[in-house]
Amino acid sequence: MAIITLIQAVNFVIWAVFAATHEVPLWIQFIAMIWVGLMGGASYVNIMYLLLRSSQIHKPDKEVAINLISIGNDFGVILASITSIVLATTVFHTNN
């Protein structure tokens, strides 16, 4: 298993504990958010690096693969944003 994948799994467990306890100080959450962002960026850069350095993929196919990765990344961001909006207006909506 790749080290970055293992670190991402640890991040998931840490955030699951945060969600379960509801008693995590804000400064720890802030540091954890920065860490998660850095690991997400490292994963993205690592995928691009491995793709560009691969000798098994032909050059024209690499260009298509980079475009597909970018489209997939953008689609993931859009889907996360839509999910956030829907949850904020339905499940997490408060009547204050």
Q: Which mean pLDDT values do the consecutive 10-residue runs of the chain (96 residues) have?
A: 82 88 87 89 88 90 92 94 94 78
pTM over 0.75: no
Query: Of 56, 42, 49, 50, which Cα lies nearest the Cα of 3?
Result: 42
**Residue 76: what pLDDT?**
92
DSSP letter, residue 92: T
